[in-house]
Amino acid sequence: MNLIVVSNRVDSGDANQPKIGGLAAALLPVVEQSGAIWVGSSDQLGDGCRKAPLVETLGAGKLVTLNLPAAHYRRYYEGFANSALWPALHSRTDLIDASALDYLSYREINTVMAKRLLRFDEPTAFWVHDYHFLPLGTELRKVGIEQPIGFFLHTPWPLPAMMRSVPHHRELIEAMLAYDLIGFQTEEDRRNFIAYVSTDLRHLRLTIEDCVVTSGHGQTRSQVFPIGIDPVKFAELSADAASEPWISWIRRGLNSEKIAISVDRIDYTKGIDKRLHALNRLWTERPHLAHSISLLQIATPSRSGIEVYSNLQKDVARLVCDINNRHRRGDRTPISHFEEGFSQADLAILYRAAKVAVVTPLRDGMNLVAKEYVAAQDPNDPGVLILSKFAGAAKELEEALLVDPNNIDDIADKISAAISMSPAERISRWQDMMRTLLAYPIQQWTADFVAELEKIRTEKLAGQFSPPNVGEPSGSKGKVEGKLAGGASHLDLPRRLSRPAFDVRARRLDDDFTHIVGSGWNHGPQLAPDVLLGVLNRVDAFPRPFQPTTHFYIHGHPYMAQLAAGLREVTPNNPLGVNVILIPRLKGG
């Protein structure tokens, strides 16, 4: 097994099932295409005793669900994760409501998950997702995991003052430093995290340089990876929208010239109430637009066990009913409100049918609905995206109509502008946004994060193969000095060293080099054989500092050649005596 992906819940691999939340939409293609194993909790809570996990194959990868102890799960999930961390991360500290027992359960579930992950044989790296598992890296280290552990936060990371409202915040964020890599959606999120670490954890005598934090855990890199979608897939899914009979049924029910669409979970961060008030104001103050636009609002219930969420669900339903009663004329329904979820295929068709998307969260890590809407549009007649300037996606989709989601008048004005926008402007804006989506799809997001994990892994393995006296020859006979003429390091390699002494036929780098190393090869990280160094030299593919040689194979397995510190014996194939190790590449990217 190679890459292990961890999150609170594992989504269904059934393409026809509704997808609730951006994390599920993002991770399914990662697993399906890369061969990763996605692990999370099941809907079945147990007594804490170990039981065999449920395993489902999805493409090249697997979905694995584990039973977590019922005694702690509710306090972990509804309590600390979603009543302390979630409101703080979205700058709603007024809604923090968590007890000391909630925090203990949160830590206990992280401990249990770490122990359950030990059941997987020889993982090469772990990729942990979201705020449910801030301390999981520390718990994995406690049970002996030495492999690289990455963490990606799908939510925003707020200003330090907001995080200080979280109970045990210093303990939690210090625990995050056990991660080798922490990924954020935007540069602002990363900047806020570094600001917190610099001020609130200064007692740990940390070193922070170029967004790399060095602590007692080692080095923690913080980087920005703005999550994407598969725009080509959404374009294909939406192509048959006009022929779908139920789309015609929705159009007749709304009975307006244009449909606007909003897709959310029921959550106080989504700005649903302000969006509905904006439409009410639009239809009240500009009655001539009453038949120009109607709203299809999909608002899927979530976290109904938390009072603020169950109350919000009722409030939204009442508000929709009130607005419809005010503005209904004949057979026209101003707002169609759906609480059931839709599959991605159905959403793609609805996106294509809608000529306006109103995506107005008060705060959001990214918001993939905005990107999905753009990807699903008809290139010859695209709709208009209205997007909150406080969503991470606004940093990329600058050609959307950006709004302040707290300003009802601003939202109403932007809806009016979207209705009347000329075809030429709509096409121009859409083309720019679509180019952005195509330039950084979900596949590239995955590849970039896994590449950083792989870089960390090779550096750790390289350290294991370094001679005790780094930079000095291990003996005197046949060795060269650690510094070359002119003071250059032995790692400052020329483009070509010398022709190898052995007459071995060189091949292209992407060939399999089994014929070089022979049939007795044992897979795993190891020193590069001298004869292979000669071949890499001959095809001008010798590894260089910070540029490992990749894309070659041994017995069908992908490998990379990485420079390590120290020197080896000088040979005709290795005239500088550099220390090169071979490391199997991750299959998770």
Question: In this structure, what are the phi and psi dihedrals at residue 200, rounded to the nearest 5 degrees?
Answer: -85, -15
CA dihedral 229, 233, 235, 239 (to 10 degrees): -150
DSSP H/E element including 275: helix 272-285
Catalytic residue among 130, 180, 264, 364: 364
Detail the DSSP E strand segments found in 351-501. 356-359, 384-388, 401-403
Task: Please tell me the total number of residues recorded for the chain in this structure.
Answer: 589
CB 32 within 8 A of CB 61: yes
Residues 64, 13: Cα–Cα separation, whole Å:
11
Strand duo 526-527 + 578-584: pairing: antiparallel
> How crowded is residue 423: how many other Cβ atoms within 10 Å of its Cβ?
10
Catalytic residue among 154, 169, 337, 490: 154
DSSP state at residue 352: H
Residues 145, 140: Cα–Cα separation, whole Å:
5
Residues 576, 484: Cα–Cα separation, whole Å:
9
**CA 381 vs CA 97, 291, 346, 479: distances in Å:** 47, 20, 20, 70
72 annotated active-site:
no
Half-sphere exposure at residue 213, Cβ-oriented, CA atoms within 13 angstroms: 30
515 annotated active-site:
no
Residues 119, 122: Cα–Cα separation, whole Å:
9
- Which tokens in the block code for residue 60? 């090249």
> Cβ contacts of residue 15 below 8 Å, gap of 6+?
343, 344, 345
Strand order in the sheet with 384-388: 335-338, 293-300, 258-265, 356-359, 384-388, 401-403
Detail the DSSP E strand segments found in 243-388. 258-265, 293-300, 335-338, 356-359, 384-388
DSSP state at residue 78: I
First to last CA, the chain: 13
In whole angstroms, what separates CA 491 from the centre of its chain? 35
Question: In this structure, what are the phi and psi dihedrals at residue 229, rounded to the nearest 5 degrees?
Answer: -130, -175
Q: Quick one: residue 168, left, alpha or beta (phi over 0 = left, psi -120 to 50 = alpha)?
A: left
| Rg, the chain, Cα only | 27
Q: Active-site residue numbers?
A: 154, 364
